[in-house]
Amino acid sequence: MQKLTERIDDLKQRIAAWGKRIRRYTERSTLFNQNRLFQSDQKRLCKSLERPIVSGTGPAPNQADMVAFWRSLWSEPVNHNEGPWTEVVASQCASITPMDPVIITPDVVAEAVLRAPNWKSPGLDGLHHYWLKGFMTGPDRVRYILRSNIFDVAELERLRREAVPSWDENATAEDAAPQVIEQPANVDAAVNTPVVVDSNDDGTVAQELE
C-alpha cells in the first residue's frame, strides 16, 4: 500500500512538471509568433489580441437609479479623517524645490507629433497620427486639449470669455473648443497663448497663462 501511494505521488509530480513545461512552451511560442506578426502585419496582430465583448443579459439600468447611485457617492458630505501625519509630511516636503514650469508651445507639440508613428491611434477618438500631422491646426487642438485637462472650471470660463464671441453669454467653457471649420481671429489668439504648467504631485496648476 505504501508503494502504491509513493507511485501515485510520483506520477502526480511528473504530471505537474510536464504541465508547467507545456505552459512555458505555449507562452514562449505565443510571444514568438506575436513578435513576428508585429513585424510583418500589425493589423492582423491587433485583431488577434481583441477579446469578445461580453455584455450583460439583464435589464438595462434605470436612469433615476443611476443618478441616485452616483449622487449618493459624490453629493453627500463626508468628514475625512485628517490625521497628524499629514502635517508631518507637509513639513518634510516644504524644503523640496519644485520642478521648473513646463511651457507648452505649438512648436513643442508639432515636434512631438512629428516623431509619432503615422498609422497609430492611441487616443479614444481613433484618430491616426497621420491626419494630426496633416492638419495645420492639429498642434493647436492638442494644446487646447492639454489646457482643458490642466485648468479648472474658473480658468476655462475665463478662456471661454476670451475665445467665444460676446453675443453668446450663455455658452459654457466647453463651447470654446476649436471647431473643424475656420475659426475667428479671437479663437486663434486664445489657442496660441503659451501654457505654463506646474508639475506638482497633486496635479494643480499654480501659474497663470502668460
> Quick one: average pLDDT of 81-92?
83
> Quick one: average pLDDT of 67-76?
86
The two most distant CA atoms of the chain are separated, in Å, by 95
pLDDT score recorded for residue 55? 65
Domain ranges of the chain: 2-40, 98-210
DSSP state of 50: -
Average model confidence (pLDDT) across the chain: 71
End-to-end CA distance of the chain: 87
Measured between alpha carbons, how far is 167 from 110 in angstroms, rounded to an integer?
Answer: 33
Does the pLDDT of residue 182 top 70, yes or no?
no
Does the pLDDT of residue 190 top 50, yes or no?
no
To 5 degrees, how large is the angle CA 116–CA 174–CA 133? 20
* Cell digits of residue 168: 453668446
Does the pLDDT of residue 46 top 50, yes or no?
yes
